């Protein structure tokens, strides 16, 4: 993993009050890990967090108990499993996107919470500001402006020059990306077809209905359900011969055409730095929120060939990873 992505944010965290030089209390430290997908689908994220903690001297069973809880695609379970972690109790909870953080905050406003890949955490009411979050929440934000969503639509135009109608597949309730994508589509004169994926069992009907609206391509919006279903999405897109783009490379590796965004495993590895500082006595509200400064393009050429899509050589040269 390229650790340079977060040097500026890491410096800010290290300089936060109580973050440096504080001794670690003896004994076991209980840390919660909570995501809404299945264990298998997010195993690399769990391992990235464990690796980050190991790098900082925490070993499972020696001085760490990492308690993992999963929603198995049932988002209504998130407050329930958050409550389980709070009652244990854990010293800090590491969780994911807005829907996860909202679930944790529905059961506690005091247990330190490290968020990963949230959108507009200030607007969502999780923190006061990025530099001084206040309260019990800090972590890593992945804010995406309409300009970034224009980038996704622009990437689709590179392989679908006559792009006029795009599907937006994701969970509207996860509160990530849809508003910004709508603004970007309006600015580019592209019609947007929203496909709201509310439950994993709805996937086939939702995708088929979207494809039936004669979309030219699909933007897949990151969330716990689409992350869990990323391989099924790739298969369905191939079946309907639809180019796809999304934020995270894990989707492209699962069969989607392209991704452009930060390295999610890197974000979870970085989350361990927050856990370490909190266990050493820092207050979550004093630790600045990090934002990724480097995005990477991944292109799945196997998918491109199966679709008969022509990916310009210029895009292939820009890609940090091509899947052949």
257-279 pLDDT, tens digit each? 999 999 999 999 999 999 999 99
Mean pLDDT of 291-299: 90
- Given this model, what pLDDT does residue 228 score? 95
Residues of the chain with pLDDT > 70: what percent? 91
Please give the sequence-ordered ranges of beta strands (E in DSSP) within the chain, or none if there are none.
Answer: 29-35, 64-70, 92-95, 113-118, 137-141, 165-170, 191-196, 217-220, 244-246, 258-261, 296-300, 321-323
Indicate whether 5 pLDDT > 60.
no
Indicate whether 88 pLDDT > 60.
yes
Distance CA 262, CA 291 (A): 10
- Given this model, what pLDDT does residue 144 score? 61
Residue 38 burial by CB count (10 A; 0-12/13-18/19+): exposed, middle or buried?
A: middle
- Given this model, what pLDDT does residue 289 score? 97
Q: Which fold has domain 146-261+296-323?
A: Rossmann fold (3.40.50)
Secondary structure (DSSP) of 113-130: EEEEEES-TTTTTS-S-S
- Given this model, what pLDDT does residue 133 score? 97
| CATH class for the domain made up of 3-142+263-286 | alpha beta
**Position 204 confidence tier, pLDDT thresholds 50, 70, 90:** very high
How far is residue 270 from each of residues 82, 189, 208, 210, 274, measured CA to CA in Å? 22, 38, 38, 36, 7
Mean pLDDT of 221-241: 96
**Position 93 confidence tier, pLDDT thresholds 50, 70, 90:** very high
Residues 6+ apart with CB under 8 A from 172: 178, 194, 196
Q: CATH 3.40.50.2300 region(s) of the chain?
A: 3-142+263-286, 146-261+296-323
Cis peptide before 89 (omega within 30 of 0): yes
**Position 8 confidence tier, pLDDT thresholds 50, 70, 90:** very low
- Given this model, what pLDDT does residue 10 score? 45
For the chain, give the mean pLDDT.
91
Distance CA 108, CA 83 (A): 8
Distance CA 17, CA 88 (A): 27
**Position 20 confidence tier, pLDDT thresholds 50, 70, 90:** very low
Distance CA 192, CA 181 (A): 9
Residue closest to 311 by CA, chosen among 185, 157, 150, 188: 157
Distance CA 203, CA 129 (A): 36
**Position 18 confidence tier, pLDDT thresholds 50, 70, 90:** very low
- Given this model, what pLDDT does residue 119 score? 86
- Given this model, what pLDDT does residue 126 score? 96
How far is residue 96 from each of residues 57, 78, 295, 316, measured CA to CA in Å? 23, 11, 19, 31
Indicate whether 84 pLDDT > 50.
yes
Indicate whether 19 pLDDT > 70.
no
């Amino acid at each position: 993993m390229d650790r340079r992505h977060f040097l500026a944010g890491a410096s800010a965290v290290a300089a936060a009050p109580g973050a440096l030089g504080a001794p670690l209390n003896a004994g076991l430290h209980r840390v919660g890990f909570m995501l809404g997908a299945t264990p298998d689908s997010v195993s690399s994220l769990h391992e990235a967090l464990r690796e980050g903690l190991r790098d900082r001297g925490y070993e499972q069973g020696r001085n760490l108990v990492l308690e993992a809880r999963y929603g198995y695609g049932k988002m209504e379970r998130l407050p329930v499993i958050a409550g389980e972690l709070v009652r244990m109790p854990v010293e800090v909870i590491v969780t994911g996107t807005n829907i996860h953080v909202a679930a944790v905050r529905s059961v506690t406003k005091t247990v330190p919470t490290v968020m990963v890949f949230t959108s507009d955490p200030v607007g969502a009411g999780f923190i006061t500001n990025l530099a001084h979050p206040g309260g019990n929440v800090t972590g890593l934000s992945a804010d995406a402006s309409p300009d970034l969503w224009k980038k996704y639509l622009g990437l689709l135009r590179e392989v679908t020059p006559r792009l006029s109608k795009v599907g937006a597949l994701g969970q509207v309730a996860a509160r990530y990306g849809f508003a910004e994508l709508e603004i970007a589509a309006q600015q580019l004169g592209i019609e947007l077809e929203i496909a709201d994926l509310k439950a994993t069992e709805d996937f086939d009907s939702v995708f088929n209905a979207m494809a039936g609206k004669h979309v030219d391509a699909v933007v897949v919006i990151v969330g716990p359900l689409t992350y869990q279903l990323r391989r099924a999405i790739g298969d369905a897109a191939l079946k309907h011969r639809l180019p796809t783009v999304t934020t995270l490379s894990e989707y492209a590796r699962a069969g989607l055409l392209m991704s452009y965004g930060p390295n999610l495993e890197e974000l979870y590895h970085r989350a361990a730095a927050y856990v370490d500082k909190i266990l050493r006595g820092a207050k979550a509200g004093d630790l600045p929120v990090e934002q990724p400064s480097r995005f990477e393009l991944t292109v799945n050429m196997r998918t491109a060939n199966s679709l008969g899509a022509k990916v310009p050589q210029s895009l292939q040269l820009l890609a940090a990873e091509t899947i052949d």
